[in-house]
Amino acid sequence: MRQVDILMKIMKCFLVSALVGVIIGGCATVPITGRRQLSFIPQSQLTELSNSNYRELLSQSRLSTDKKKIDQLNTIGRRIAGAAEQFLRENGRESDIKSYSWEFTVIDDSKTINAFAMPGGKVAAYTGILPLAQDDDGLAVVIGHEVAHAIANHGNERMSQMLLVQLGGMTLAQAIKQKPERTQELLFLAYGVGTNIGVLLPYSREHETEADRIGLILMARAGFDPRAAVPFWERMKAKSGGRPPEFLSTHPAPERRIEDLKKFMPEALEFFK
């Protein structure tokens, strides 16, 4: 065997070992579900970057000036965020709370039926989703789901996966320096901003189901009726005739989601007294 072949085999072994080390060393646990997840990006670094991207996104968007809608979103969001932080305290994860600086924004776009959350607790809802929410409980379904994404660290997990799969295992700092545009594109995809469907869509569907379960519990703990989730998704299903709304682009089929929500409901109702 030539020396170059031996060297290539050694290098491949080294790279595999390095990736295995990253994966093992970067495991975390999702609250409530207990699922193990890949999460090796320093949270402070990801939060700083996501805050910057959030400000940039808002600067390019038309923000709602409707006080009623703004107050509704903020009231519901603060209650659910408070329930999330209380859950973290009760489960020995109080140190995680410092990672969140909650902010809830209404984006004035009646044609966009969507909402998203970024690492660090930045949550936005488009006015297009409000008619489908109908009332406080319906909007709590949406916001509970988005806050669940944040405390489940889904943004970090998806970005960690994307750095491994699409950028060859670069650190976030390396990716920002060497491929800034591609990195920003991946970040927005990881947050669920926009309608692009990427190579990691199966992971996204797992995250959506997980966020549904966690979101039901959070909204129930915040005093909102989790039973509002089923009719909300039935309305989304009816709306999905033709081209699905953005909020459905990386989500399980509405029929499957409704069945899962019914299975999760007894657990959530334990907290809705």
Q: What is the pLDDT of residues 36-52, one digit of tens each?
A: 877 667 777 778 878 88
Give a yes or no: residue 10 inside a domain.
no
| 61 inside domain | yes
**Dist CA 215 CA 140 (whole Å):** 9
pLDDT at 167: 47
**Count of domains forming the chain:** 1
What residues contact residue 17 under an 8 Å CB cut-off, 6+ apart? none
- Please write the tens of the pLDDT for every residue from 13-70: 333 333 333 443 456 788 788 888 776 677 777 788 788 888 988 999 999 999 999 9
pLDDT digits (tens, 9 = 90+) for 153-202: 887 787 777 666 554 445 555 655 666 666 666 655 555 554 333 333 33
Of residues 116 and 82, which shows the higher confidence score?
Answer: 82
Whole-prediction pTM value?
0.76
pLDDT, position 74: 98
pLDDT band at 260 (very low <50, low <70, confident <90, very high): very high
Residue 110 falls inside a structural domain: yes
**Position 59 in a domain:** yes
205 domain residue, yes or no: yes
Asked whether 55 and 63 are in contact (CB, 8 A), the reply is no
Asked, for residue 162, whether it belongs to a domain, the answer is: yes
Catalytic residues: 146
What's the 3-state SS for the chain? CCHHHHHHHHHHHHHHHHHHHHHHHCEEECCCCCCEEECCCCHHHHHHHHHHHHHHHHHCCCECCCHHHHHHHHHHHHHHHHHHHHHHHHCCCHHHHHHCCCEEEEECCCCCCCEEEECCCEEEEEHHHHHHHCCHHHHHHHHHHHHHHHHCCHHHHHHHHHHHHHCCCCCHHHHHHHCHHHHHHHHHHHHCCCCCCCCCHHHHHHHHHHHHHHHHHHHHHCCCCHHHHHHHHHHHHHHCCCCCCHHHCCCCCHHHHHHHHHHHHHHHHCCCC
Position 193 in a domain = yes
19 vs 104, more confident: 104
13 lies in some domain: no
Q: What is the pLDDT of residue 159?
A: 74
Containing domain of residue 78, as a range?
37-269
